[in-house]
Structure 1
Amino acid sequence: MEKRVPEHGPALSEKQRRHWQDTYQRLPGMYGDEPSAAAVHAAQAFRARGAAQVLELGAGHGRDSLYFARSGFRVHASDFSSAGMAQLRQAARAAGAAESVTVEVHDVRRPLPLGDGSVDAVFAHMLLCMALSTEEILGIAAEVGRVLRPGGVFVYTVRHTGDAHYGHGLAHGDDIFEHGGFAVHFFSRHLVETVAGGWKLEEVHPFEEGELPRRLWRITQTKPS
């Protein structure tokens, strides 16, 4: 058996992009049509704050983006998988939601292609805990803060260091561990608070998902007005 060695930086990120691309091509609509529980909560939080324009980062094949559109929001959905975005584009047309959902292939490690203060709310389910370095995560948070309007809300979910997979599998450093081809950056509470630096941290809500089960936090933070 070939011994695998840890990877870092662009090499790991590109390998993960290809892995997700292949996964979406082999398993179209792999997460089904129903929205995640995190998206249902986020829609309520966004509506309570009067949001109209929602940015979803790491939208995958778009089940949550379509849910936001059905809930009356205008949605800008992005993901680094062209296969996932093609599936979302097709699903939006089939659902008659094409005018409410803008789809864009984008690597979140690059600056967001949106203007300052141009969105009311941002949602990211399991994106920030992908194969991203701490530095890249903080860069993404800064970009989210740039494109959010003052008082805008950011809801994201991450697997955390209490998860059963933390500390096991192929270690890539920086609390990134790989299982079954998927690399995960497990969040500590310190990292959550660092990401929220300069924001109002509203909530860190623990929940479980999947068969392991995966242990996650749902974080809600607000940009100062």
Structure 2
Amino acid sequence: MTAKDHGQSLPDTQRAHWQHTYTRHPGMYGVQPSAPAVHASALFHAVGARDVLELGAGHGRDALYFAREGFTVQATDFSATGLEQLRASAQRQGIAERVTTAAHDVRDPLPLPDASVDAVFAHMLLCMALSTEEIHALVGEIARVLRPGGTFVWTVRHTGDTHYSTGRFHGDDIYEHGGFAVHFYDRALVDALAEGWILDEVHAFEEGALPRRLWRVTQTRPG
């Protein structure tokens, strides 16, 4: 039985699942930044970025790291609970003045003006329960809010991952395990999302105990 059988869409059930997960497991990913965030921070410094938009910030381990690194950070997530934890951590760390948050569903247009940020970061946000059409629309929105020459660093689980083609199938290469739905990427989708951009790098790496197999993608909005 699917979410739609209960009158709910998959994204709606995923929102509820993440809310419940953050409530039961505050700070579930710990306080140390992810490896992609450490890489992105060095890259953002190298290109002279000053402000960073993080999509899918969760409880904030990476957003807080960017703020400690001296960036002004705008953090969004569709979990209000995760963002509450992020704000509390920013206060404790004395960096609240460099961090703003907004509850936002990335299926909707980004709540930012055109060409208003230097860099965008999204760790596994683009491989959530989003259709290919919704992902293309989101990347278009990211291009809109980035300044010319701005950098976008993002990560996704790919079709070489152990969980690909297993679990509950929701169509469009989306499979669900343990309540979490993942859209797995092939290289053709990565390349399609980079059309109109400069594709700087597609880097394969692993994360976690399974391990999860991901790509870290870096692309630049042409100046």
Partner of 2:2: 5
Contact 2:3/2:9 (CA < 8 Å) preserved in 1?
no
Contact 2:207/2:214 (CA < 8 Å) preserved in 1?
yes
Distance 1:192 1:63 in 2: 26
Among 90, 98, 102, which residue is 1:100 paired with?
Answer: 98
Question: What is the root-mean-square deviation of aligned Cα atoms in Å?
Answer: 1.3
Q: TM-score, normalised by structure 1?
A: 0.97
Among 194, 197, 209, which residue is 2:195 paired with?
Answer: 197
Instruction: Look up the equivalent residue of 2:92 and give its one-letter code.
Output: A
Distance 1:124 1:164 in 2: 22
Cα deviation, residue 162, structure 1: 0.2
Per-residue Cα deviation, 1:156-210 (whole angstroms, up to 9, x for no partner): 0000000000000000000000000000000000000011110000000000001
Partner of 1:209: 207
Cα deviation, residue 5, structure 1: 3.4
Among 14, 38, 41, which residue is 1:40 paired with?
Answer: 38
Among 60, 63, 82, which residue is 2:58 paired with?
Answer: 60
Q: TM-score, normalised by structure 2?
A: 0.97
Instruction: Look up the equivalent residue of 1:120 and give its one-letter code.
Output: D
Contact 2:3/2:13 (CA < 8 Å) preserved in 1?
no
Among 8, 19, 22, which residue is 2:20 paired with?
Answer: 22
Per-residue Cα deviation, 1:109-156 (whole angstroms, up to 9, x for no partner): 111110100000000000000000000000110000000000000000
Partner of 2:117: 119
Instruction: Look up the equivalent residue of 1:161 and give its one-letter code.
Output: T
Partner of 1:219: 217
Distance 2:106 2:140 in 1: 12
- Residues 54 and 182 of structure 1: CA distance in aligned 2, closer, same or farther (over 3 Å): same
Query: Displaced runs of 4+ in structure 1, greater than 6 A?
Result: none
User: Percent identity among equivalent residues?
Assistant: 66
Distance 1:45 1:72 in 2: 13
Distance 2:2 2:25 in 1: 27
Among 96, 109, 114, which residue is 2:107 paired with?
Answer: 109
Instruction: Look up the equivalent residue of 2:12 and give its one-letter code.
Output: E
Distance 2:190 2:29 in 1: 26
SS at match of 1:173: coil
Distance 1:7 1:33 in 2: 36
Q: How many residue pairs were aligned?
A: 222
Among 180, 198, 207, which residue is 1:182 paired with?
Answer: 180
Partner of 1:163: 161
Contact 2:151/2:218 (CA < 8 Å) preserved in 1?
yes
Per-residue Cα deviation, 1:7-49 (whole angstroms, up to 9, x for no partner): 59x7000000000000000000000000000000000110111
Instruction: Look up the equivalent residue of 2:136 and give its one-letter code.
Output: L
